[in-house]
Structure 1
Amino acid sequence: MPGGGYATWSRDRLGVARRGAEECGDVWQLESGVYVAAAAAPCEEVLHRARDFPKASAPLFPPLKRSSGAPAPEERAHAHAARMHGLRAQAVADRIGEIAPRTARFAEQWPTGRDVEILPPVRHALAEIGVHYLFSEDAPALLPHAAQLFLAREVLVRPSRWVWPRWMPTPARRFRTRQQVAFTDALRAVVRRRRSSGRLGDDLLGQMLRPSPRYGLLPEEAVLDTLPGITVATFETPSRAAGWILLHLARHPGAAARVAAEAAALPTDPAATTRTHLRGLPYTEALVSEVLRLYPPSWLLTRDAPRRTRLADYTVDAGSTVLVCPYTAHRDAREYAEPDRFLPERWLDDTGSPAKPGVFLAFGTGPHGCEGAALAMAMLTLLTAQTAHRYQLSEPPGPDPCYQVTTLEGLATVGLRLRATVRG
């Protein structure tokens, strides 16, 4: 570990991650029992070897305790399969006309001519999209509960001097439980109404309520337990990504103008947007991918090692932690030419069609890759296109930075302030 161990890491995670990759190699040891996978190959290896390196066993929204007990493993497998069916790229493409109007509304409502802290309205817009995608006409009733779930998550992950045992009911954990119960109770009413009426819906919840040939009908608790986390995930991580994207539109006006030119072909009525229109935004999607490469919102992924195993040149002892670092893997010159340069064109071939220049881990990979990757890319691409089409963005004048970087739970532009001027 270069430069002083864990205390140095806590002060400057990004800087130490870069130095570790440059000075110590593809895998390096942060401290005893903590390893960092810094390059593409070991990152992919860890994420694909789910048995050797499983995800941490403490979900942010653990199943609520009930007298009926937790859902069985096969019921959880059915719930996961149903979610994945509703979030696959084909399913997202079929509903582009529902996503586009809300991205357009966000752009239309941006106050012009003054500096605006933009992440709160971005998060609200993406929450509306995500919650509607999951619950359709029931989204308005569930959106306030989703906002409270997000707040509970923010409270829970705030830095603390103390590391409390998982069983201890701290105020933050009690607040999380209250919000999770409130969301679950509201969702339970929706599930029972849909099942009793027979109108299950065409959204993701409706997909989960349909019986499958293999598993039959999902029990109510298996449906309810799986949705608090995915509800928050539909807008939390995309909101972090959107901050970096909007900042790059402000800093790279040439790229923003090219996005705006593509977006001019979108329908005047956003509800008429189709998958064909989305395919007509290759440079916009390339810009989104390039920002996600440089600033992956989930820049550090934690995996456990329950048994002794090998990783690169290390013997990883049982009980160790492996930190997978997409941030440094994406800046590996073996994967990307000029890796620190913002270059959306690297994602396009000579004809302007999509290309894949190197390993891309912004959404993870392997068995625990992000379920909502297709939804997130659609949301971010349309939000970027609609914003650039209407406005030229700029940073506030003056010596002070317009945002602060946070790395604790994700890579985000906290307090980001930008100014929008109507594009001439």
Structure 2
Amino acid sequence: MHGGGFAAWSRDRLSMARRGAAECGDVWQLERGVYVAAAAGPCEEVLHRAHDFPRPSSPLFPPPKRSSGAPTAEEGAHAHTARMRGLRPQAVAARIGEIAPGTARFADRWPTGRDVEILPPVRHALAETGVRYLFSEDAPTLLPFAWQLFLAREVLVRPSRWVWPRWVPTPARRFRTRQQVAFTDALRPVVRRRRSSGRLGDDVLGLMLRPSSRHGPLPEEAVLDSLPGLTVATFETPSRAAGWILLHLARYPRAADRVAAEAALLPADPAATTSTHLDSLRYTRALVREVLRMYPPSWLLTRHVGRRTQLADFTIDAGSTVLVCPYTAHRDAREHSEPDRFRPERWLDDSGSPTKPGAFLAFGTGPHGCEGVALAMAMLTLLTAQTARRYHLSEPPGPEPGYQVTTFEGLATDGLRLRATARG
């Protein structure tokens, strides 16, 4: 596609992505060496072929340099397996009563009768919930450091005219390193106290500290290095999604009423909420899934090409970049009927459900899919239910939207303002 390349792309990335998919097909070329996978099939193919299309090698929170060296690849794989003990759907289901109170507190604290910029309190509520899920009784100690990690991430990914080499110690990178060290320094005594006392805990950290029959206990540094990124991920991406969900509750009052009717059956005490209650929120979950389909918070995923390979009709050279675009894949009429129409019922009706697993890519797929899918869906579903249960939401009056769509790091409703009115 030769329509201005990155210049046109940077002006309106969503429109450019849709135009490219419409005019050029399932895979199209943005510029030399840069390709866009725009449909479910090639998106899923790229994400599953991790050897041909690896993720960028530099994580947002890279392990710090140490004289003893970083954890080995085998220890990293062991750490991933250990983390997943606490993030699997069964583990999340067993702890719904610990997740629900944080989402209820968010709804209870919403000031009524005035327009409120809602993303900051959403982020704080989900941070409290996510950090408590990871660290239980140690969450109050670690939450301030987790918040500073998030701020470091925001500074680091902010758009800039210059792309500095990774080895250049820019102010943003130095700030990131300071916050990462501070988080690790706060977490290290927690790890040592739990191990020395033998009371490891049943949270994600505790499950990571349990020795495995094959590998024994994880080295301390392997535990510490794996948690900064996971900690931020528990609330950063769900917060972007929550903005879109709350906006849709305001724009579709009938859908919000249906969510409220389901939520009315939740226990009065949020701590008494169980996985059975969560499973009963079928329409609420469908609404969350539909918003994620239309506005996936991670709408564009970057993959590098490790070796010369084929994708659709393109032979792609090593060193090229493939941009995987769930946003356009989710708006493909071959996968979703009336793709631009907000219709949560599609996830309840067999006739409207997508025909392929890859047709829903809000959390990625393949070996590098999101680890926290079950936790994120539980938090978002309960936050949606608790909010609709209490309030009618509305947008500020006026012709202009009360938010700005941002696309650089994720798809978000920056500055979103909404008004809550108590339900009668």
Q: Do these two structures clear the TM 0.5 threshold for a shared fold by scoring above it?
A: yes
Following the alignment from structure 1 to structure 2, what is the Cα–Cα distance between the partners of residues 2 and 258? 46
Match of residue 338 from structure 2: 338
Does the CA-based 8 Å contact 2:336-2:354 persist in structure 1? no
Following the alignment from structure 1 to structure 2, what is the Cα–Cα distance between the partners of residues 196 and 67? 25
- Compute the displacement of 1:72 (Å): 1.1
- Compute the displacement of 1:3 (Å): 2.4
Secondary structure of the 1:127 match is: helix
Q: Does 1:312 align with 2:303?
A: no
Match of residue 219 from structure 1: 219
- Compute the displacement of 1:355 (Å): 5.5
Following the alignment from structure 1 to structure 2, what is the Cα–Cα distance between the partners of residues 142 and 397? 40
Following the alignment from structure 2 to structure 1, what is the Cα–Cα distance between the partners of residues 14 and 349? 31
Q: Does 1:55 align with 2:55?
A: yes
Following the alignment from structure 2 to structure 1, what is the Cα–Cα distance between the partners of residues 397 and 305? 48
* Alpha carbons of structure 1 residues 163 and 140: separation in structure 2 relative to 1, 3 Å: same
Following the alignment from structure 1 to structure 2, what is the Cα–Cα distance between the partners of residues 163 and 280? 48
Match of residue 180 from structure 1: 180
Match of residue 420 from structure 2: 420
Q: How does 1:13-412 map to 2 (within 5 A)?
A: 13-349=13-349, 359-412=359-412
Does the CA-based 8 Å contact 1:346-1:357 persist in structure 2? no
Secondary structure of the 2:166 match is: coil
- Compute the displacement of 1:349 (Å): 2.5
1:422 aligned partner, one-letter code: A
Following the alignment from structure 1 to structure 2, what is the Cα–Cα distance between the partners of residues 150 and 316? 35
* CA-to-aligned-CA distance 1:358-395 (integer Å, 9 cap, x gap): 51000000000000000000000000000000000000
Q: Which blocks of at least 5 consecutive residues in structure 1 are unaligned?
A: none
Q: Give TM-score scaled by structure 1 length.
A: 0.98
Following the alignment from structure 1 to structure 2, what is the Cα–Cα distance between the partners of residues 134 and 101? 15
Secondary structure of the 1:218 match is: coil
1:362 aligned partner, one-letter code: A
Following the alignment from structure 1 to structure 2, what is the Cα–Cα distance between the partners of residues 6 and 417? 31
Following the alignment from structure 1 to structure 2, what is the Cα–Cα distance between the partners of residues 84 and 196? 24
Identity, % of aligned positions: 83
Following the alignment from structure 1 to structure 2, what is the Cα–Cα distance between the partners of residues 357 and 384? 27
- Compute the displacement of 1:306 (Å): 1.4
Secondary structure of the 1:111 match is: coil
Tell me the matched-pair count: 422
Following the alignment from structure 1 to structure 2, what is the Cα–Cα distance between the partners of residues 422 and 399? 25
- Compute the displacement of 1:74 (Å): 1.0
Does the CA-based 8 Å contact 2:208-2:218 persist in structure 1? yes
* CA-to-aligned-CA distance 1:210-232 (integer Å, 9 cap, x gap): 00011111000000000000000
* Alpha carbons of structure 1 residues 3 and 27: separation in structure 2 relative to 1, 3 Å: same
* Alpha carbons of structure 1 residues 2 and 335: separation in structure 2 relative to 1, 3 Å: farther
- Compute the displacement of 1:356 (Å): 5.1
Secondary structure of the 2:393 match is: strand
2:362 aligned partner, one-letter code: A
- Compute the displacement of 1:398 (Å): 1.5
Following the alignment from structure 1 to structure 2, what is the Cα–Cα distance between the partners of residues 59 and 255? 39
* CA-to-aligned-CA distance 1:292-343 (integer Å, 9 cap, x gap): 0000000000001011000000000010000000000000000000000000
* CA-to-aligned-CA distance 1:235-280 (integer Å, 9 cap, x gap): 0000000000000000000000000000000001110000000010
Following the alignment from structure 1 to structure 2, what is the Cα–Cα distance between the partners of residues 258 and 89? 25
* Alpha carbons of structure 1 residues 293 and 53: separation in structure 2 relative to 1, 3 Å: same
1:80 aligned partner, one-letter code: H
* Alpha carbons of structure 1 residues 355 and 279: separation in structure 2 relative to 1, 3 Å: farther
Does the CA-based 8 Å contact 1:149-1:232 persist in structure 2? yes
2:402 aligned partner, one-letter code: C
* Alpha carbons of structure 1 residues 97 and 376: separation in structure 2 relative to 1, 3 Å: same
Following the alignment from structure 1 to structure 2, what is the Cα–Cα distance between the partners of residues 381 and 21? 31
Does the CA-based 8 Å contact 2:336-2:353 persist in structure 1? no
Following the alignment from structure 1 to structure 2, what is the Cα–Cα distance between the partners of residues 401 and 15? 18
Does the CA-based 8 Å contact 1:200-1:206 persist in structure 2? yes
Following the alignment from structure 1 to structure 2, what is the Cα–Cα distance between the partners of residues 320 and 244? 33
Q: Which blocks of at least 5 consecutive residues in structure 2 are unaligned?
A: none
Following the alignment from structure 1 to structure 2, what is the Cα–Cα distance between the partners of residues 306 and 282? 42
- Compute the displacement of 1:421 (Å): 0.2
Following the alignment from structure 1 to structure 2, what is the Cα–Cα distance between the partners of residues 156 and 377? 27
Secondary structure of the 1:381 match is: helix
- Compute the displacement of 1:2 (Å): 4.9
Secondary structure of the 1:165 match is: coil
Following the alignment from structure 2 to structure 1, what is the Cα–Cα distance between the partners of residues 395 and 310? 47
1:210 aligned partner, one-letter code: R
Following the alignment from structure 1 to structure 2, what is the Cα–Cα distance between the partners of residues 273 and 316? 50
- Compute the displacement of 1:399 (Å): 2.2
Match of residue 5 from structure 1: 5
Does the CA-based 8 Å contact 1:234-1:376 persist in structure 2? yes
- Compute the displacement of 1:350 (Å): 6.7
Does the CA-based 8 Å contact 1:286-1:347 persist in structure 2? yes
C-alpha RMSD of the superposition = 1.1
- Compute the displacement of 1:161 (Å): 1.2
Following the alignment from structure 1 to structure 2, what is the Cα–Cα distance between the partners of residues 374 and 126? 14
1:188 aligned partner, one-letter code: R
- Compute the displacement of 1:357 (Å): 5.6
Following the alignment from structure 1 to structure 2, what is the Cα–Cα distance between the partners of residues 365 and 127? 24
Following the alignment from structure 1 to structure 2, what is the Cα–Cα distance between the partners of residues 320 and 166? 18
4+ aligned runs moved over 3 Å, structure 1: 354-358
